[in-house]
Amino acid sequence: MYVGGSVISSVEFHGNMSLVLFMSKCPLACRYCHNVELLEDNTEKSFEEIKHEIDSSADFLDAIVISGGEPLVQTDAVIEILTYVRQIGLKTKLDTSGIYPDNLKKILDLDLLDYVSLDVKTTFSKYRKITGANVGFKVKKSMELINEAGVHLEIRTTYVPTLHTKKDIRNLVDEIEADVYTIQQFRNKNVLDPALEKVEVPNPHDLVALASEIKPYFNGVVKVKSGEFGEQII
């Protein structure tokens, strides 16, 4: 399996100490992608190596987070890891772009997930502008599958001033259903499209104002995540 790195984190799975595994590869080319080095990373690890990594920190871990890249490029590997994590009684979270609903369904059917964080990059009909591919309908399908399975769902959107309008976010909120909706601040360092390095980072107060505006129209918790203030519940 291709795993480009890992980190221990207290923020990726709220209230839980987690080991985050960054699965390499992703077929998309989101212009603001920060994980550029992971997209084509060829670092291979065996399941035994991953198992050893989990076991050596399991005493102080509550959860394993499978992130990327797009983890569902390697669905069999993800299932192998999550099955083991379930066996040893830790919680599980998957970060995904949602572009492989059939693969996601396999994992949901096996009841291997406690929490999914789904990146919804813009309204489902405008995906090509941000990702280079018209895959919004697949992401919508993934959202529906997660909700049908009753798994805790957080939807996140990275707000990029030149790629999104505030109206896009207002429209997006009408299209989604989740437990939590988080607007993330765009960061202009180490991004896939160098043109975005010149785009100003959005002011966190503006993001809070936008989140407050959409909150009445979203049936769940609304958050803002910024470099300055971390995670704020609106």
Footprint of ligand SF4 (CB under 6 A): 26, 28-30, 33, 35, 68-70, 97
Q: Which residues contact 173 (CB under 8 A, 6 or more apart)?
A: 181, 214, 217, 218
Least distance (Å) from ligand SF4 to the CB of residue 52? 26
Cα dist. 59→19, 37, 63, 88, 90 in Å?
12, 31, 11, 11, 10
Give 61 or 78: the residue with its C-beta nearer to ligand SF4.
Answer: 78
C-beta atoms surrounding 129 within 10 Å: 15
Give 70 or 151: the residue with its C-beta nearer to ligand SF4.
Answer: 70
Q: What is the chain's alpha carbon radius of gyration, rounded to the nearest angstrom?
A: 17
Give the separation between CA 220 and CA 181, rounded to whole angstroms.
7
Least distance (Å) from ligand SF4 to the CB of residue 213? 25
Give 37 or 148: the residue with its C-beta nearer to ligand SF4.
Answer: 37
Least distance (Å) from ligand SF4 to the CB of residue 97? 4
Nearest to 3, CA basis, from 76, 101, 79, 74: 74
Give 34 or 86: the residue with its C-beta nearer to ligand SF4.
Answer: 34
Least distance (Å) from ligand SF4 to the CB of residue 59? 31
Two structure tokens written together for 65 = 């987070």
Least distance (Å) from ligand SF4 to the CB of residue 80? 21
Give 69 or 202: the residue with its C-beta nearer to ligand SF4.
Answer: 69
